[in-house]
Structures are given as structure tokens and as C-alpha cells.
Chain A
């Protein structure tokens, strides 16, 4: 087959390039600008090279925030993925209750982030919150504003409440796409419930689970609004995740240089992790089909 070569087709890509340039690349460049300069206002910039980056790489404050961030993402992934799968497996497959569950499951996803934060902020309060008050009445010494452990628990439970639905819905979609014949064959072959899950359901859900894990990782790694509304990063710095720390640094302290360097590295870390994750998973796929 002879293909016509016509480089004019590149012009068709131009509008997108321009749009992306104005919406993403140029704003990013201002961040790059801040990251390699120091400024005392007045639009006067002094070249500092990689000084801010060096400062940030060695900053224990950033290390701590990164540590908390990784711990947080790991915990919520470890809870939300299995829980989401478990819920999806137990959701009705058809009929009224299937639709009912779908609507019910999507409700948390529809609530704006800051509202979720506000809901839990109030829910957890010991004086007027249903959760906080009940726990206190039951004799638990629960107070998310004083106790780092309680603060973590609250933030994690809130995230699980908010986002497990996403994993569940994706897993449910994966499950629904499995033809009935597979389950029938498994019954003929006398497969156990575990074997059905391990050899039929899990492999068929792999694609959507990959998306779910990737989305949940990226989202949780960038989390800002909900913990900010609930704990404001406290008590102390115990729930100060990367985004919260970044905003504190940039807007609270107006350390624009270090904050810019920080956010660039932050961006690269997310990009890197997502890329590694994606490559590993697609390679696994390719190996399997060999």
C-alpha cells in the first residue's frame, strides 16, 4: 500500500498545540522562572541557578511531607482497592437493586471536595459531630484536632468514604463484562469460589483495576482540599501532605522560589511514578500474551 506523505497535516495539530501552550506550558514556564530566580518583588529577578532545588532536596521539612504522603497513598490504596473489589463482587448484577447500588455508590463521587472536607470536619467534632460525639460518649478519647493518630484516622476514613466508590464502580464494570460462559465453565470444572476470583474475575478486571490504582495513586498523592478543610495539616505538621506544605510555603510564607522548585520536583515525581507504573503494567500484559 502506498501512503501519501503530506506534512501539511501537521497544521491540523497546531490549534491544540497553541491551546496547550497557553493553558499548560506557559504557566509552567513561569513556575520554572521562579524556581531558578530569586525575587524581592517589583518584577526584579536574580539568577540563582539550582540553589532552590538543592535547598529543597536536602530540606527535612520536604522529606517529612514526602514520607507522610507516601504513607498516606499506600494506606488508602491498600484499603480502597481490596474494599472496592469486595463491594463490586457483592453488588447485585441486574434489576432494581443493581441500579440502586450504582446510584448510591456514585453519590460520594459527586460531592465537591471541600464539601466532603466540611462534612467530615463537622461529623468528627466532639462537641456537635455525630461521629465525634458518639465516640466520646462511648468512652473513646477521640479528638482529631489534638491527636495525630485520630487526625490520620479521620483523614483516611474520609478518603475511603469518598473514593472507594470509584474503585468499586470500575471493578463492577470489569465484572459485568465477563461473559456468563466463563462462570458456567468454572462450575463445570468444579472451580472453588477463590479459583473463580483468581483465574476468571481478577484477570478480567485487571485493565480497569490498573486504571483505578493509577487514578487513586495520582489523586491521593496530590490530595489537598479535604485534609486541609478537616485538619488544616495539623495537629502540628502531622497531616501536612505535600500539597498542603507547598501551599503553606508559597502562599503562607511567600517563599516563591523554593515553592516553585518544590512543585516542579513534585510534578516530576508524579509523572515518573505514573510512567513507571504504566510501563510495568503494559509490559506485564505483553509478556503474558507471548
Chain B
């Protein structure tokens, strides 16, 4: 087990990448702490799988180094990295039994047969397949095959890291929950570094201690679920995390106030003059309908989503979502919206700007 460091890493699938857009993975420096449970979150095509494949050595990065602890493994083949990876779609060895499938990675390392038998039994129990151990893997359901793939990923105790590439896509919802819990438990018991790729934020937030959000080939933020929610470092994080995502309103920032088309909003902090496109971001949870304070708002639709109600509105020509607590009367007299000043984030060209004391 080791800390995984990515130094100056970048990757392009083109032979001679030139401009920024040629890179599937933009230059980055990143450290995965030993024993951390990370979720790698991002929309499809943002480079998550590329990053995983670079860590596991299936792909050689166009530039930069990959370090396991102090060891430079950039040029080391996958087999020499002792790493486990589970893919999005099940990969099983058809002609082998379930037992042989699970034992395969251990046998390839020439481990002791009695240890292998015991370990396979343990893993089979974990994935709930003890009864099917002697069956051929061929002909099993996609569900079961993916459980075997997961089992093969977890069977080695001494791996440097386990990488999961959207492993639960083909699993049915109930089993998903169960397997995620098992993965969590596995992490607690063995303390492997785990990197879990997904585009499902619930999955990411329940699995991981630290969530890494990627956007357009870049890591835009790494933090606890709370940090991602409260202080998204990039507008994409604000939009991607939370349901619905953060409201973004174009505004001119002037010290500790934001100006929106002649209206003004108090900010929780003071900002130096900002260049570029500036926006304020406010979570729907921190916007409140009022009878007169704040900005004038026009309510367009109210959706009851169970625990609370979601109000789709328009403020100064820009769309805005508001979460209204259960029980609040939504009458015609609620004509304005107020924002909690210290919950407002300020963005310049999509990146969050840290404010000073107001």
C-alpha cells in the first residue's frame, strides 16, 4: 500500500498533441493519500477512466510521472504495480468456475493453495455467491458476473490500490446498495486506497471520505461532501453536486456587494476588483422567499418533491431554483427572494474567488 502521486500528469490520445483541447487529461498534480476512500465524480467523457487507466498502468501518460510512495512507476507495467481494477462491464473468464475466477489473481502470484481456498471462500461470502462457487461463470447473469469481477478486484489483500470504474452500472438497485456497503466495510477492514469512479453523486457521496470532481479533463475540486456542497471551487461542481444544482447569477462584484441589473445583494465577504465574467452562486437551500426583502422574483412552477418543495422562478430574467421548507405557505404575497449572505459564493470565469473579511 502506498500513497499515489501524480506529478505534472497529462494525457492525450493524439500522437502529437498541441493545443489544450487535444488533451483528454489536462496537466495536473494530485496526491491520493494512502488508505483513502475516494470517489472520482464527473460527467461522461471528462477523463475519469483515462485517469484510472494511467494509475493502473493500462495507459502510459503522454507526460508527467506516476509515483507509488517514492517509487516511480510511470514505465512499470500493470502487472508490476500490484493494483486491482474493476471495470464498468463484467469481465469473467467464461470457461472457469466462479471459484477459479476468484482464485485466478492469487494463483497467478503463486500463493499458497490453502490460503487461496480460504480467501476465495471469504470473498464469495462477501459478494453473496457461496452457493454458485462450483458453477461455470459462463451463462450467469450480468449481475452475477459483475459481482465476480468485483470479487476478483477485492481478493488480493496486498494491493496498492483498488480502482473501481463505475462498477455498479449493471447491478440492480437493491444489490447496488448492498455491494456499496460491502465495499465500505472492506475499506474499513483493510484500509486499501480505493478510487471509485462514478457519475452518480449519491454513490460518490455515500462511498467516499473525499470526493474528487473532474470536469473537462481537469480535477476541479477535491474535498469532503460538505466542502463540495458549501464552497464549490468551480461552477461545474456547484451545478453537478446537489439536486438541483447551485443557482448562478451574473453579477458585478463591488467590494462586499454584488450588483445585478441595478439591484444589489449583500455578500458575506469583501472582494478585490475581479476581471472576466463574474457570477454569484447560491444554493437553492439558502434562498428564501420573502414579502419584500431582496430581489424581485417571479414564481413559475412549484414542484412537490416530498421532503420539501422546489420552486422554479425567474429573477431579473435569469432562472432560479428555491427550496422551500415543508409547511411554508406559498402565496401571491411572496414577491421577493433573499439570499443568506455568507452562503453566497463568488465566481470569476467559473472559478471560485476567496473573499476577505467584509
Contact = CB atoms under 8 A, between A and B. Distances in A.
Contact of B108 (A181, A192, A200): A192
A199 B93 contact: yes
Contacts of A184: 53, 58, 78, 85, 87, 91
Given A181-B87, A185-B87, A190-B79, A288 B96 contact: no
B89 A181 contact: yes
A232 B253 CA distance: 97
A290 B140 CA distance: 9
A203 B138 CA distance: 10
Per CB-CB distance, the 7 closest pairs between chain A and chain B, nearest first, are A289-B139, A187-B78, A185-B91, A189-B105, A190-B108, A190-B79, A199-B93
Contacts, number: 63
A200 B96 CA distance: 10
A199 B87 contact: no
B84 interface: yes
B312 to A, nearest CB: 42
A203 B77 CA distance: 25
Contact of A190 (B89, B91, B105): B105
A188 B56 contact: yes
A195 interface: yes
Count class of interface residues, chain B: 20 to 34
A199 B91 contact: no
B105 A290 contact: no
Interface in B90-123: 91, 93-96, 104-105, 108-109
B183 interface: no
Interface in A170-207: 179, 181-182, 184-185, 187-192, 195, 199-200, 203-204
Contacts of B77: 187
A42 to B, nearest CB: 63
A209 to B, nearest CB: 14
Contact of B138 (A179, A187, A192, A289): A289
A38 B94 CA distance: 57
25 contacts: A179-B89, A179-B91, A181-B89, A181-B91, A182-B91, A184-B58, A184-B78, A185-B152, A187-B79, A188-B78, A188-B83, A188-B84, A189-B105, A190-B79, A191-B108, A199-B93, A199-B96, A199-B104, A204-B94, A288-B94, A288-B139, A289-B136, A289-B138, A289-B139, A290-B135
Contacts of B85: 184-185, 188
B139 A200 contact: no
Interface of B: 53, 56-58, 77-79, 83-85, 87, 89, 91, 93-96, 104-105, 108-109, 135-136, 138-139, 149, 152-153
A288 B58 contact: no
Nearest to B135: A290
Contact of B58 (A179, A187, A192, A204): A187
A189 B95 contact: no
A40 to B, nearest CB: 61
B152 to A, nearest CB: 7
A47 B86 CA distance: 73
A288 B135 CA distance: 9
Nearest to A200: B93
Nearest to B106: A189
Contacts of B89: 179, 181
Nearest to B80: A190
Contacts of B96: 199
A190 B136 contact: no
Nearest to B93: A199
A287 B1 CA distance: 42
B136 A288 contact: yes
Given A188-B83, A189-B104, A190-B109, 6 more contacts: A182-B91, A188-B56, A188-B78, A190-B79, A288-B136, A290-B139
B77 to A, nearest CB: 7
Nearest to B79: A190
B134 to A, nearest CB: 11
